Chain A
Amino acid sequence: MADALTISGLDCFYGETQVLFGLGLTLRQGEVHCLLGRNGAGKTTTLKAIMGLVSARTGSVRLGDIELTGLPPHEVPKAGVAYVPQGRRLFAEMTVAENIEIGLMTRQRGKDVREAVLDIFPVLRERLRQRSGTLSGGEQQQLAMARALCLEPRVLLLDEPTEGLMPSMIAKIRQSVASLRERGVSTILVEQRVEAVLSVADRVSFIENGRVRETVGVDRLREDPDIVKRYVGVS
């Protein structure tokens, strides 16, 4: 499989504190690649660095032939990367329709895309005029995903999308991720639940202290649960 996204030698800092140390990662075309690691290991920072929201001092993030490092952050989604942040980060004071409209900012043929996205998450169609802050947790997560899919991304970055959701909604989110893979969207998924990783991921990278320590296929994870214990502390 060709590579959708290639990260190499990425050094990122918050102020003077270095948080990513020469991080390298390859996302293959159409795969779901999971990042596992302890809190503070650098998973979210990796996603933010891809989006340009944390600037890289050195290193490279390539989306196909496009070098993303150095692009202004607002150009990264136009290149084809969509981001669903941890905690959803919806515009809570705005309606569902307005949140979706923001997802369509970079699109020319917004109406078709909007309809396609609402077909994936039909519950949102019934709530278009509702303030997004008043939606249930599951609906908010669906809106966050819908907003990101409005960008028609080649690469989707999901930061703990199942956090705080009830099991039925977690299944729905997993199903969405799997159907996106079928449509050729490559996904980087930050996830804490190992069972969620096993059900949806193709490969897993373990991040520790701002470095990718090991990348394995999901089968290896099933065969050797100790590997999770080693990097995450639970299995």
Chain B
Amino acid sequence: MAFGPHLLLATLEGLVTSAVLALMALGLSLVFGVMRVVNVAHGEFYMLGAVLAWAVASAFGGHPAIGFLAALVIAPLVVGAVALVADRLVLKRLDYNPEATIVATIGLLYIIQQAALTFYGADARPVQAPFNYRISLPWFGYSGYKLAVIGASVALLLTTWLVLSRTRVGLMMRATQYDSETAQAFGIPVGRVYAGVFAVGAMLAAIAAVLIVPTSQAHYLMGRDPLLLSFIVVIIGGLGSLRGTVVAALLIGVSDGIISMFFSPTLAKIIATLVVAMVLVFRPQGLFGTSAR
């Protein structure tokens, strides 16, 4: 394949990675931005989403689209419920203390991971894509489903932006993010906002997993790499910044796709980590973040 088409293919693959990464990192970023909680268990919510997608899709017979669509609804709801329970039972009791919640979410990581190993097993299992349409380009054919993943991610990101910027719930979330004490003084139930944000953050990770699992496989250890990449994205983009998260996810995803294809995946990770180091040294608040209050 000539260089041009090769580059196009790498860019498309990178965009798929970016789409999933943006959704997952957005969940992590929202949780940190609003609650000041570094959720180390975020990757496990992603893994749980994929595992549940397999379970739900397997339970439904007939056309793969039925099982997939059911998974797209049920898996995020179940993961959101798990996050809500974790918030009420653990994070709230720790008064959302930033240091204590890091340790607590590490614990949560192992609980979810080991529960998945116990009940789901160590095997990687596939989920069928809802459709298998290939788009024929002059140089190569490309998965229509992967393009649909990009479209779905863009739609979800836009929806999140609209909710945050145009709705009453979004206003409550932003007020809590900027100054939770003052928010309470104006009748905003900060505890409920925290619980909602933690659940929504986990659901975004679960949706990302359901979307990507037909192109990969569900496995109980699949949360590790996306967690690392999500942290890279939110550090580069700026914790709590939606715009920064999207831009950083595009940067990391597309560069990962291109460098992996032309050089090696390891080099892509080295460069991403180097970029994080540079950002931490020269702009610790991230490209689009604001300085700590």
A residues near B, CB below 8 A? 51-53, 72-78, 83, 85, 89, 91-94, 98, 101-103, 105-106, 147, 151
Chain B residues touching A, range: 10 to 19
With A53-B181, A94-B174, A94-B178 in contact, is A78–B290 under 8 Å at CB?
no
Min CB distance, A95 to chain B, in Å? 11
Q: Which of B65-73, B183-191, B224-232 contacts A (4 or more CB under 8 A)?
A: B183-191
Q: Which residues of B contact A102 (CB under 8 A)?
A: 171, 175, 183, 186, 188
Inter-subunit contact A151/B186 (CB<8 Å): yes
Q: Is the CB of A89 within 8 A of B174?
A: no
CB-defined contacts of B174 to chain A, threshold 8 Å:
91, 93-94, 98
Contacts of A151 in B (CB 8 A): 186-187
Q: What 0/1 readout, one digit per residue, does chain B (135-176) give for beta carbons within 8 Å of chain A?
A: 000000000000000000000000000000000100110110
Point out the residue from B184, B189, B191, B290 that lies within 8 Å of A93, measured CB to CB. Answer: B290
Which residues of chain A come closer than 8 Å to B171, judged between CB atoms? 94, 98, 101-102
Q: Collect the chain B residues with CB atoms within 8 Å of residue A91's CB.
A: 174-175, 178-179, 182
CB pair B189–A74 under 8 Å, yes or no, is yes
Chain B proximity of A98: nearest CB distance (Å):
6
Would you call B178 and A72 a contact (CB within 8 A)?
no
CB-CB under 8 A from A72, the residues of chain B are 189, 191
Contact of B186 among A52, A92, A94, A106 (CB under 8 A): A106
C-alpha spacing A52/B190, complex, angstroms: 13
Given the known interface contacts A91-B174, A93-B290, A94-B174, the answer about A77 and B179 at a Cβ–Cβ threshold of 8 Å is no
- A74 contacts B184, CB within 8 Å? yes
**Does the CB pair A74–B190 fall under 8 Å?**
yes
Interface of chain B, main secondary structure = helix
Question: Which residues of chain B are near A73, meaning CB under 8 Å?
Answer: 184-185, 190
A77-B178 in contact (CB<8A): no
Instruction: Mark each residue of chain B from 190 to 211: 1 if its CB lies under 8 Å from any CB of chain A, else 0.
Output: 1100000000000000000000
The answer to whether B179 and A83 have CB atoms under 8 Å apart is: no
Residues of B within 8 A of A52 (CB): 184
CB distance from B169 to the nearest CB of A (A): 11
Give the top 8 A-B pairs by smallest Cβ distance, nearest first: A106-B187, A73-B184, A77-B187, A89-B182, A74-B189, A83-B185, A105-B187, A91-B178
Q: State whether A85 touches B185 (Cβ < 8 A).
A: yes
Q: Besides A83-B185, A89-B179, A98-B171, 16 other CB < 8 A contacts?
A: A51-B184, A72-B189, A74-B189, A77-B187, A85-B185, A89-B181, A91-B174, A91-B175, A91-B182, A93-B174, A94-B174, A94-B175, A98-B174, A102-B171, A102-B188, A105-B168
Kindly list chain A residues whose C-beta atoms are within 8 Å of the C-beta of B290.
93
**Within residues 243 to 284 of chain B, which ones have a CB less than 8 A from any CB in chain A?**
none
For the complex formed, measure the closest distance between the CB of A91 and the CB atoms of chain B, giving whole angstroms: 5
A22 CB to nearest chain B CB (Å): 25
Tell me the complex Cα distance, A92–B175, Å: 10
Question: Residue of B at shortest CB range from A73?
Answer: B184
